[in-house]
Structure 1
Amino acid sequence: MPADPDTRPARTMPRGPAGHLRDALLKLASGRAVCLRQSERPWASVTFEGARHTFELRFDGLTATLAGETLIEQLPDHEFTIPGQLVAEARVTAVDHRLAPEPCMKVTCELLLLKDA
C-alpha cells in the first residue's frame, strides 16, 4: 500500500504514560499494527484527573487484519498495566475494513487514562 499523508506512521511518539499505553495497544495487536496517529487531551471530573487518548492503528494483510479483529474483541475488557495510571475506559470508535487489493483495516480507539492516586 503506498504511503500518503493519511497512512504514514506517526513520526514522533510520546513517552511517559501515553507511550506506555501505545506500546500496550501494539502488544495487544500482536505487533501487527502500525500506529498512524495518537492524540491526547486532558480530562477531569470532580474526583479524578487524567487524559483521553485516541489512537488510529492500521493493519495490513490478512494476518494483521485478523490480529486487528482480535484487538477489537479484547480491547473493552483488557487489563492494562500502565505505571501510575488506571485505564478507566477503552473502546473502539471506528473501523474501516477493505478487502481489495489486499486486506487492510484501520481501527480508531479511545482510552481514558486516569492518574492512580
Structure 2
Amino acid sequence: MNAPGRDATKALLRALRSAFDPVNFMNVERVQSREWASITFTGARHEVTIRLDGNGAEAAADRFAEGLEMAEFRLRGHILADIVLTAREKTEAGVRLHLEALTVEDG
C-alpha cells in the first residue's frame, strides 16, 4: 500500500521539474505530504521546498512565481486544486522557494 499522497507527490514533483529551464537545476530540499479529505474529495496537502542554483536562477524563480496561481500542471490521476508560493529566500548559489499545494484524486 502506498504512503499518503505518495503518487500525487511524485506527480507534483515531476510537474514542478518540468516548469523550470534545465539550465537552472532544481533541487528538492524538503517534501512533506499528508492525507486530506473533504465531504466530496480525497487528496493530499503538500509542503515542498525547492532550490534553484546557477546563472538565471532568480529570473527563473520570477517567471515561475509570476503565473503560479493560474498555471496548469498535469498530474496523472490527480488534479492540482491549489498551489501557492509561501516564501522565497536568496541563497549563495541562487534562490529557495517554499510551496504549499493541494491535490485531489481525479475520478
Partners in 1 of 2:44 and 2:6 — Cα distance? 14
Unmatched segments (≥5 aa) in structure 1:
1-13
Structure 2 residue 47 is the aligned partner of structure 1 residue 54: yes
Partner of 2:105: 115
Partners in 1 of 2:86 and 2:49 — Cα distance? 10
Percent identity between matched residues is 32
Alignment of structure 1 residues 16-95 onto 2, 5 Å: 16-31=7-22, 32=24, 33-95=26-88
CA contact (8 A) 1:93 1:110 kept: yes
Partner of 1:4: none
Unmatched segments (≥5 aa) in structure 2:
none
Shift of 1:80: 1.1
Partners in 1 of 2:63 and 2:93 — Cα distance? 15
Residue 88 of structure 1 aligns to which amino acid in structure 2? A
Partners in 1 of 2:61 and 2:35 — Cα distance? 27
Structure 2 residue 95 is the aligned partner of structure 1 residue 105: yes
TM-score computed with the length of structure 2 as normaliser: 0.83
RMSD of equivalent CA atoms: 1.8
Q: How many residues align?
A: 101
Partners in 2 of 1:28 and 1:103 — Cα distance? 19
1:61-97 superposed Cα distances (whole Å, 9 cap, x missing partner): 3312211111111221111111111110011011112
TM-score computed with the length of structure 1 as normaliser: 0.77
